[in-house]
Amino acid sequence: MKTMNLFGAAIAAMITLSAAGNSIAGKLNVVATTPDLASIAREIGGDAVDVKALAKPTEDPHFVDAKPSLIVTLNRADVLIEGGAELEVGWLPPLLESARNEKVAAGAPGRINASQGIRMLEVPSTLDRSKGDVHALGNPHFMIDPVNVKIIAGVIADHLAQAAPASAEQFKTNLATFASRLDAKTAEWQGLLAPFAGAKIVTFHNDFFYLAERFKLDVIANLEPKPGISPSPAHLAEVIEKMKSEGARVILVQPYQNHKTAEAVARQTDAVVLDSAQQPGAYKDTATWFQMMDHLVQGLAAALKEKA
């Protein structure tokens, strides 16, 4: 196909041009698909790495705009961290194919699949893609459980040490510092949410399930009838009834989800719509994963208190 060849040639030219500006002062080029993974890589890599995220903080990680500039970023990567479990299946594979970078090919030491190290929840017993479910390999939104993040930080430290053995000790030290801070913050977040154990919440997409499991909350409904499928009037009517009968009065909505739909449901259920990004950088002063989690947990505790 002529158009594909032209596109390929354009990309090749971009990659050649970019080669001149390769890695900054010997730093390892680490690329993460999403800002949460990038933030953890920065904690572990410290000043030995230069970290970029492919998705914007306000972008749906299932549907990232596959801009050609991302191919250049992937071509220069020494290490690629993906969430996995098909989170990026809709956009990452074609970008990787065009980037032609053996260092981050599947199975290479420079490739990290975060989902492989953790206990995945909601793995369907039968695979049925016919209904458009985007969680066919289990729920891929596991980075809001600190226990998972601790495991993934360890995997990242191992891979970074393989890619840059001279900095292995530094990564080990950074990991230890990160893990102890994480333990302290986890206890703090548990303390903030403990008074609301068993509280019922509603989410737009099924993206806060791991947070709910860790902090003993109960997601009773999603506004989407299935992950990735837009809310229908019939489904929303069921959700409204369920919220009224079970007393759920907080709806969590991420920046890229439909706030108007959530507000309409909230008006009929005396609920509050809580802006709840799970990517660092979506809101002011939430540039790191820790800051994002603080913002999320504090906001959730305040909303649950207000609507208790």
Least distance in angstroms from the C-beta of 62 to Zn ion: 5
Least distance in angstroms from the C-beta of 64 to Zn ion: 13
Nearer to Zn ion, 73 or 115 (CB): 115
Least distance in angstroms from the C-beta of 120 to Zn ion: 13
Nearer to Zn ion, 139 or 269 (CB): 139
Least distance in angstroms from the C-beta of 32 to Zn ion: 17
Measured distance CA(35)–CA(38) in Å, rounded:
5
For 52, list phi and psi in degrees, rounded to 5. -125, 145
Helix (H) or strand (E) holding 8: helix 2-19
CA 18 to chain centroid:
28
Least distance in angstroms from the C-beta of 100 to Zn ion: 29
Nearer to Zn ion, 225 or 227 (CB): 227
Q: Name the segment binding Zn ion (CB under 5 A); options: 13-21, 35-43, 186-194, 220-228.
A: 220-228
Measured distance CA(300)–CA(83) in Å, rounded:
24
**Amino acid letter for position 164:** A
> What is the size of the binding site for Zn ion (CB under 5 A)?
1
Using CB under 5 A as the criterion, what x/- string covers residues 226-245 for binding Zn ion?
-x------------------
Measured distance CA(296)–CA(286) in Å, rounded:
10
Measured distance CA(261)–CA(247) in Å, rounded:
19
Nearer to Zn ion, 57 or 227 (CB): 227
Considering only residues 177 to 216 of the shown chain, the ones binding Zn ion according to CB under 5 A are none
Measured distance CA(141)–CA(204) in Å, rounded:
13
**Amino acid letter for position 241:** E
Q: Which residues bind Zn ion (CB under 5 A)?
A: 227
